[in-house]
Amino acid sequence: MATVKLLADNEMAPEARAVLDDIRKTRGTDFINNFWRALAHDPALLKRTWESIKQVMAPGALDPLTKEMLYIAVSATNGCDYCIHSHTASARAKGMSDVMLMELMAVVGMANETNRLANGLSVPVDAAFRVGED
Amino acid sequence: MATVKLLADNEMAPEARAVLDDIRKTRGTDFINNFWRALAHDPALLKRTWESIKQVMAPGALDPLTKEMLYIAVSATNGCDYCIHSHTASARAKGMSDVMLMELMAVVGMANETNRLANGLSVPVDAAFRVGED
Amino acid sequence: MATVKLLADNEMAPEARAVLDDIRKTRGTDFINNFWRALAHDPALLKRTWESIKQVMAPGALDPLTKEMLYIAVSATNGCDYCIHSHTASARAKGMSDVMLMELMAVVGMANETNRLANGLSVPVDAAFRVGED
Amino acid sequence: MATVKLLADNEMAPEARAVLDDIRKTRGTDFINNFWRALAHDPALLKRTWESIKQVMAPGALDPLTKEMLYIAVSATNGCDYCIHSHTASARAKGMSDVMLMELMAVVGMANETNRLANGLSVPVDAAFRVGED
Amino acid sequence: MATVKLLADNEMAPEARAVLDDIRKTRGTDFINNFWRALAHDPALLKRTWESIKQVMAPGALDPLTKEMLYIAVSATNGCDYCIHSHTASARAKGMSDVMLMELMAVVGMANETNRLANGLSVPVDAAFRVGED
Amino acid sequence: MATVKLLADNEMAPEARAVLDDIRKTRGTDFINNFWRALAHDPALLKRTWESIKQVMAPGALDPLTKEMLYIAVSATNGCDYCIHSHTASARAKGMSDVMLMELMAVVGMANETNRLANGLSVPVDAAFRVGED
């Protein structure tokens, strides 16, 4: 239950509706997930978030599946259940198998563990890791 | 400045020293970074952490560079400066370019942003994302 | 489902009951939300938390609505669903509109994004930001 | 010490340089803080982040100083030292006094405390907070 | 609803089944909680996690109840509802009373508050706290 | 370098000075660590924080050393370097050995790991853990 109404297509401003149209066209499906219906209260935020997602998740030096897995890693670390579900679905649609998901989780778990060991003991960064830095 | 002494080779228990020997052999270098010298106070923790890292970061369904980038994504999200430095160095050694690092950061930034939009508005998970779940 | 019983008025110690009486009087309503019924297991914790909330959220150099919005910003960042709901309700009661909530979320999202870009690249604080510091 | 080189004006792509020119013009100063020099490695990320910041932090239903204080609240919660310094400086430039900063911190501290009490005891959201929700 | 199927005993690999057998034997009960049925998709991760838990939570310089309470403190701070429930149950089984749980929560709340006050004001570590450090 | 001046005794309000006097008397030392000198800008916040710390960290159902270790567990999880240093020093003064600190860290690391495995796979809480709950 969202703290704002999830807007139906006919309840949002035309600028918001235009963004939904682009989401539908880009994804090739009529389905719009709840996240966008919540953001639709603020057409500028909706548009900026969608345009950024399109740009950031597009193929580049990293492929789209790797990007989806990075998204899951962050969402698992932050405990965002919505994002875990939506990006696990996206990653599966792009080819992530159960075996890949479990390996991803193993890395996420390990990183969260050693992050706290390093922080908790306040281990200083080795000079060797600073070579070439500003 | 760590909250425990960073142990020199001759200051740690033989079981800890044996782990350092394996780190050196596995990595093909004499250099041991501070993290392991802090953990050396607890040979069982040192051994378990190193054995887990070796197993988790080995090639599998995901390649080692992808795993290093996932590690960076988690460490950036948690704000572990030590881990950011050590795993950025590892990822570079495995072929990560500046362009790849910046794309990785763009995804990490984006995920952290939308994680909070979804959580902050308490957006409910779509039924479509739950297909086939337990 | 809380991990402790949510105590009814007649199940708690008199010191806890006295705190609930003050909450009712201060807020001008008989309704007591679940949070306080969980804390009622520890009358000292209940009393300290309520007294602190009253003091911290009172008008001062910042007005009560600004304070509620800061509370939402923190709760969204931490992913506390209970607090997101209770403080969004409080902020609305103090005059926050949907437009204001969406702008608040846009700032929270943006801050979470740039926090990770700055941390993830370990950007050093500019000397210009340290003027006049200890 | 950043994990990427902080680029001087003559070391970055023309598209990145153009963003810096707009930052200078918008802010009315020649000074460019380190954050932008790190992002300059990725002109698209630099441009998107700057354009978003300009849009999000502009006066709207919330005034710019309130927005800066929300930014500090998030940055303090996430422990981003860079962002704490840069946005505390920005907020002071917009009129935040020491008294206001301390009240802000009191709210941030309190919210972080009760977020964990509510989460740690798994307190269920009251039906009263869900009125009118989807 | 997990993002992977929770595997029944007859749906998992023999290596995973062997780990469940050890969990049952060690705990003296047939009951296996959902966490292990999710990890069972990756027998190596399942085995490593279980072996580590057994080793880490065993009596040592700290007693098992203190360890369970530390686990709850971390889980409350991270907002892991699953872990809060499972470790609160474990701690109760080892003797934690409601009074002890509430005192634990009071410390967790207080620490989360002062963590943000110290970080949010960027308070420098006193030289007195660094005595004898590397 | 704090974002507010660390106040010397003669730079703070009498109400703040009175709190420092109580800290000195309670602890039996003239030394005042930086945290309190930062809070001294807001005598009410300073007083409330100190009174709460005294109450929360006092012997009760949990002993003071266990409470200090819980404080370290939270601070390590949040990455508060100031709090890690100050509470590690306090815990050592109350009898925590290096061996105890390392066991504490092992639990903190493990909990952070399994928190993300449970959240990242969205594992549902077992009915067995909900017995007797509201």
pLDDT tens, N- to C-terminus, chain E (134 residues): 899 999 999 999 999 999 999 999 999 999 999 999 999 999 999 999 999 999 999 999 999 999 999 999 999 999 999 999 999 999 999 999 999 999 999 999 999 999 999 999 999 999 999 865 55
User: What's the CA gap between A9 and A6, in Å, rounded?
Assistant: 10
Cβ atoms of residues B4 and B38 within 8 Å: yes
User: What's the CA gap between E123 and D79, in Å, rounded?
Assistant: 12
CATH of E59-122, one of 1.20.1290.10, 2.40.280.10, 1.10.10.10, 3.40.640.10: 1.20.1290.10
User: What's the CA gap between A67 and B108, in Å, rounded?
Assistant: 9
What residue of F is the nearest CA neighbor of B79? F79
Cβ atoms of residues B96 and B65 within 8 Å: yes
User: What's the CA gap between C2 and D82, in Å, rounded?
Assistant: 37
- What 3-state class would DSSP assign to A13? coil
Q: Which among E57, E85, E125 has the least Cβ separation from residue F129?
A: E85
pLDDT score of B105:
98
What distance in Å separates residue A30's CA from the closest CA in chain F?
Answer: 27
CATH of B1-58, one of 1.20.1290.10, 1.10.10.1200, 3.40.50.1370, 1.10.3720.10: 1.20.1290.10
User: What's the CA gap between A71 and A88, in Å, rounded?
Assistant: 9
Candidates F32, F41, F58; CA nearest to F5 is F41
User: What's the CA gap between D98 and F85, in Å, rounded?
Assistant: 26
- Whether D109 sits inside 8 A of E108 (CB atoms) is no
Listed range (A59-63, C126-130, F9-13, F31-35) with the worst mean pLDDT: C126-130
CATH of C9-58, one of 1.10.3720.10, 1.20.1290.10, 3.20.20.70, 3.90.700.10: 1.20.1290.10
Cβ-Cβ contacts under 8 Å, B78 against chain F: 79
Complex ipTM: 0.96
Which are the contacts of A75, defined by CB distance < 8 A and separation ≥ 6? A83, A84, A87, B111, B115, F120
Question: pLDDT digit string (tens) for B57-87?
Answer: 999 999 999 999 999 999 999 999 999 999 9
Mean model confidence pLDDT for chain F? 96
Candidates B68, B4, A128; CA nearest to E132 is B4
pLDDT score of F130:
86
Cβ atoms of residues F15 and F43 within 8 Å: yes
Residue ranges of chain E assigned to CATH 1.20.1290.10: 1-58, 59-122
Question: pLDDT digit string (tens) for C38-92?
Answer: 999 999 999 999 999 999 999 999 999 999 999 999 999 999 999 999 999 999 9
Residue ranges of chain A assigned to CATH 1.20.1290.10: 8-58, 59-122
Q: Which CATH class is domain F7-58?
A: mainly alpha
Look at residue F134 and tell me whether its pLDDT is greater than 60: no
Rg of chain A on CA atoms, in Å: 19
E121 Rama class: left (phi>0) / alpha (psi -120 to 50) / beta? alpha
Q: What is the CATH number of domain F60-122?
A: 1.20.1290.10
The separation between CA F134 and the C-alpha centre of its own chain, rounded to angstroms, equals 30
Which is more confidently placed, D58 or F134?
D58
What distance in Å separates residue B106's CA from the closest CA in chain D?
Answer: 7
User: What's the CA gap between E118 and E121, in Å, rounded?
Assistant: 6
Q: Which of D68, D87, D102 to mutate to test the interface with F (most CBs of F within 10 A)?
A: D102
| C130 band by pLDDT with thresholds 50, 70 and 90 | confident
pLDDT score of C110:
98
Question: pLDDT digit string (tens) for F7-54?
Answer: 999 999 999 999 999 999 999 999 999 999 999 999 999 999 999 999
Cβ atoms of residues E2 and E34 within 8 Å: yes
Does the pTM surpass 0.95? The reply is yes
Question: pLDDT digit string (tens) for F52-89?
Answer: 999 999 999 999 999 999 999 999 999 999 999 999 99
Q: What is the CATH number of domain C60-121?
A: 1.20.1290.10
Q: Which among F72, F85, F120 has the least Cβ separation from residue A108?
A: F120
Q: In this structure, what are the phi and psi dihedrals at residue C95, rounded to the nearest 5 degrees?
A: 115, 0
End-to-end CA distance of chain A: give it in Å, rounded: 47
Q: Which among E70, E114, E128 has the least Cβ separation from residue F107?
A: E70
Rg of chain F on CA atoms, in Å: 19
Buried/exposed code over B9-37 (b: 16+ C-beta within 10 A; e: otherwise): eeebeeebbebbeebeeeeeeeebbbbbb
Residue ranges of chain D assigned to CATH 1.20.1290.10: 8-58, 60-122
Cβ atoms of residues E124 and F5 within 8 Å: no
Q: Which CATH class is domain D8-58?
A: mainly alpha
Q: State the alpha helices, DSSP H only, in B1-134.
A: 14-27, 34-39, 43-57, 64-78, 81-93, 98-120
Strands (E), E5-68: none
Q: Tokens standing for B13?
A: 């228990």
Positions of chain D with pLDDT lower than 50, given as ranges: none
Which are the contacts of E14, defined by CB distance < 8 A and separation ≥ 6? none
